[in-house]
A = this chain, B = another copy of it.
Amino acid sequence: MGTLQPHLAEVCGYHFGWCSAGGTPSAGAVPSKFLRATLVLLAAECAGGDAATAVPGAVAVELLHNHSLIHDDVIDQDDLRRGRRTVWSVYGTETAVLAGDALAATAVAHLARAGTVPAREALVLLLDAFNRLCAGQTADLEMERGDAVTVDEYLRMVADKTSALLAAAVAIGAVLSGADEATIGILEAACRDLGLAWQAANDVEDIWGDPAVTGKPPLSDLRSGKMTLPVLAALASDTPAGRELTAHRASGADRARQDLDHVADLIVRAGGRAEAEHLARQRLASAEARLRELAVPDPSRHALTALFRFIVTRSA
């Protein structure tokens, strides 16, 4: 595989929070939590194996995820991630495209080099998730540009954009530790629920979350006009506030801060926030119920369940 080109190595180090722009090691950045890598390792344990056997999978999944974050920020033109300036905004779009590409190549090579039969199966799972990530992000873009989107259409997009890599993470962990089909199926199904719960919780957080926690400006999704779950649920609510929201959007009003606060209030009054929060809770409960189906020692199950809860609620 070789190593990353020196400038790309700095760019990726910056992205992960390990150095400042310029390459000086930095201590102040909020580091990645490596949630997906942890999912891979805990899934390996839940499948009755040793987490160590799944490390190449954990590395590959995390690298592919960060590939998609760097490209996502280019696509959404987001300036901030984890409270720091995004790669494209520091190094330029060109370099961000290449750094994302290089991380994808490195991610895939990490599993391809292993050469075992389970590693090959894991690689196919990773590549399927890679393709679904692209599909989900494309559907997301189409929804932003298009007209009416139903909540169901939104959730199908989320299944590709958010859930596919989470499901691949646990499946890869399980495959690398030699799990049977039934175990893999349960873990994947749990992560499909987890993905929807996470996206719903994220959509709420992106509007009403504390900027100090999200690392993004307040009301950022409203500012960019994104059609997220609370917005879609509010628009579909057939309530006075929902109708006012529809009229407001059609009027093309500008996105001054005061106006955004009003929009956020309309979404609450139309029940959009409550519906998103309900979906997050319900899907998390469903994911946890699936984990209880696993024939696995309690400590492993409890660790994975705790990680699921942390992911959705961000409180350990």
B101/A128 in contact, CB under 8 A: no
* Residues of B close to A100: CB separation below 8 A: 97, 101
Secondary structure call for the A interface:
helix
Chain B residues, CB < 8 A from A4? 131, 135
Stretch at the interface among A32-40, A108-116, A188-196, A276-284: A108-116
The contact string, 1 if C-beta is below 8 Å from chain B, for chain A 113-156, is 10100001001100110111111011101100000000000000
Query: With a CB–CB cut-off of 8 A, which chain B residues contact A133?
Result: 101
User: Complex Cα distance A75/B115, Å?
Assistant: 34
User: Interface size for chain A: under 10, 10 to 19, 20 to 34, or 35 or more residues?
Assistant: 35 or more
Given A102-B135, A120-B112, A141 and B95 contact (CB-CB distance below 8 Å): yes
Q: Most chain-B Cβ atoms within 10 A of its Cβ — which of A76, A106, A128, A131?
A: A131
Cβ of A305 under 8 Å from chain B:
no
CB of A135 within 8 A of CB of B8, answer yes
6 residue pairs from A and B, CB less than 8 Å apart? A2-B132, A4-B135, A97-B97, A97-B100, A109-B128, A112-B123
